[in-house]
Amino acid sequence: MGPTRKPNVCRRLSRRALGFFSGDAGAVQRTNLGILRALVCQESTKFKNVWTTHSKSPIAYERGRIYFDNYRCCVSSVASEPRKLYEMPKCSKSEKIEDALLWECPVGEMLPNPSDYKSSLIALTAHNWLLRISASTGRVLEKIYLASYCKFRYLSWDTPQEVIAVKSAQNKGSALTRQAGLPQPVLLYLAVFHVLPFSLIGILEINKKIFGNVTDATLSHGILIVMYGSGLVRLYSFQAITEQAKNGIQEMECCSLESDWIYFHPDASGRIIHVGPNQVKVLKLNEIENNSGQHQISEDFVILANRENKNENLPTVTASGRVIKKKFNLLDDDPEQETFKIVDYEDELDLLSVVAVTQIDAEGKAHLDFHCNEYGTLLKSIPLVESWDVTYSHEVYFDRDLVLHIEQKPSRVFSCYVYQMVCDPGEEEETTNSS
């Protein structure tokens, strides 16, 4: 007998999708995604840069769609060659889209209009309009005006696919007020809406008088997350705006120029992700035993950057020839050390994706690591071929078999690098010839 050939993966996936192996559609989908996860993480699988493009306007990505010209032009990234899905009419500068989220209809609910069952883009315009746009045609389905007393700029999910938080730009105050040292009454606003149809839940003011010297704030799963300098984070109940007592304040032991960031885990497990320059902490929010009204935060696992300890005693020679040893401490976000820049979650494959960057001389190199979402174990590392300048703005997305890197260079030049999964050529040829 000859050598046993590996089964054709594509044929197995097709047969499972047709229900040949199980009568449970959910089990079929889970099996398919389990096979895809194994393919993504196996040693022989590579991610190849298949497409690169540049633009003078921002580039964004949402679930297999790349958006150009402030979301006006939509291109599919699923096929091997990019394909334009739609292009909205040109608009004035005040009507351009600042930020957007992809909304997909809830399962098992009766919705008022047939168009509500299809994916929509929740978009925020420069002149404070909140729009719901068809993700397949670009047609505006619903719109609502926010306010005139502040400039809203950012969108995020409070409850995924149900409740959105619209955040304003931070109020820097007038030059006279800053020179006089007077406190700013409101640093920023958070407006909270149900999605379908748009309905206001409330608008929250974040001001120094109540919250202190805040650097940023966000809302997630009904919890108000308020960030301060020096790695300090406070968690509040959004409904009551009262502090939740044990370990509600989390401090990251780090010395860095850039602040750490914290948010609820997108897998709806109730865990919290706290990211610093050299570590990623995944925390659990649990009820205190014998006290269901109080919660505590405990550590689930930690991902550490791959670093060498470069802190050392450096000798200094005085004019008289006496040698003095000085302790030299590097910052935790020193560019010559591996530093975490982006942490995301691939929900279908249940993987944490972490971007780590090291800047050597003038050129920085980055790699994307896949970690087990349950234990934090490193499963695979993918090098990015393009150089990474830490002074630029970067976004990296991992979506099934696709990795996408968006970079903003000086003079508003945006670049998009698309990677697709490819198997080892030897294995690919063998499985293709299998029957």
The tens digit of pLDDT for each residue in 70-114 reads: 999 999 887 777 788 999 999 888 899 999 999 987 666 777 777
Higher-pLDDT residue of 60 and 285 is 60
For residues 285-305, give the mean pLDDT: 80
pLDDT at 180: 54
Q: Is the pLDDT of residue 2 over 80?
A: no
Q: Which domains does the chain have, with CATH numbers?
A: 91-212 (2.130.10.10)
| DSSP secondary structure of 234-300 | EEEETTT--B--SS-EEE-----SSPPEEEE-TTSSS-EEEE-SSEEEEEEEEEETTEEEEEEEEEE
- Are 101 and 62 within 8 A, CB to CB? yes
Produce one character per residue of 168-179: b if its CB has 16 or more CB atoms within 10 Å, e if not: bebbeeeeeeee
Beta strand pairing call for 261-264 and 272-275: antiparallel
Taking each helix axis from N to C end, the angle separating 9-17 and 25-41, rounded to the nearest 10 degrees, works out to: 160
**Helical H runs in 102-245?**
175-180, 208-211
Q: What is the pTM of this model?
A: 0.74
**pLDDT tens, residue by residue, 330-375:** 555 566 788 899 999 999 999 999 999 998 777 889 999 999 999 9
**pLDDT tens, residue by residue, 194-239:** 888 888 888 888 888 888 888 888 888 788 888 887 678 887 776 6
